[in-house]
Amino acid sequence: MLTMGIDVGSRSSKCVILDDGELLTYGSIETGPNIVKTAQAVVDAAVHRRTSLWGEYRMPLPDVKVDHLKIEDMACIVSTGYGRAIVPFAHRNITEITCHCRGAQWFVPGVSTVLDVGGQDSKGIRIDANGDVADFVMNDKCAGGTGRFMEIVAEVLQVPLSEIGPLSLQSTKVLPFSSTCAAFGRGAAVTMRKEGERKEDILDGLHEAIANRVMALVKKVGIADKFVISGGIGRNVGLVKKIEARLDGLKVNLPQEPMIVGAVGAALFALDRAKKEGTAPDTAQESTQP
How many Å apart are CA 101 and CA 262, to the nearest integer?
Answer: 8
Per-residue pLDDT, averaged over 213-233, amounts to: 90
pLDDT in tens, 136-149: 998 755 555 567 88
**How far from 273 is each of 20, 59, 74, 158, 234, CA to CA, in Å?**
12, 25, 12, 45, 29
> Do 250 and 265 fall into the same domain?
no
Are 179 and 140 in contact, with CB atoms under 8 Å apart? no
Most confident of 88-97, 116-125, 277-286: 88-97
- Report H helices in the chain: 35-47, 96-107, 147-157, 164-168, 182-194, 199-218, 237-244, 261-277
> Do 188 and 226 fall into the same domain?
yes
CATH number assigned to the domain comprising residue 119: 3.30.420.40
Least confident of 40-54, 107-121, 132-146, 252-266: 132-146
Structural domain boundaries, residue 96: 2-102+259-288
> Do 121 and 231 fall into the same domain?
yes
Per-residue pLDDT, averaged over 178-203, amounts to: 86
Q: Has residue 240 got a pLDDT over 50? A: yes
Contacts of 41 (CB under 8 A, 6+ apart): 13, 29, 32
Residue type, 233: I
How many domains are contained in the chain? 2
> Do 241 and 136 fall into the same domain?
yes
Nearest one of 113, 70, 99, 97 to 6, comparing CA atoms? 99
> Do 98 and 176 fall into the same domain?
no
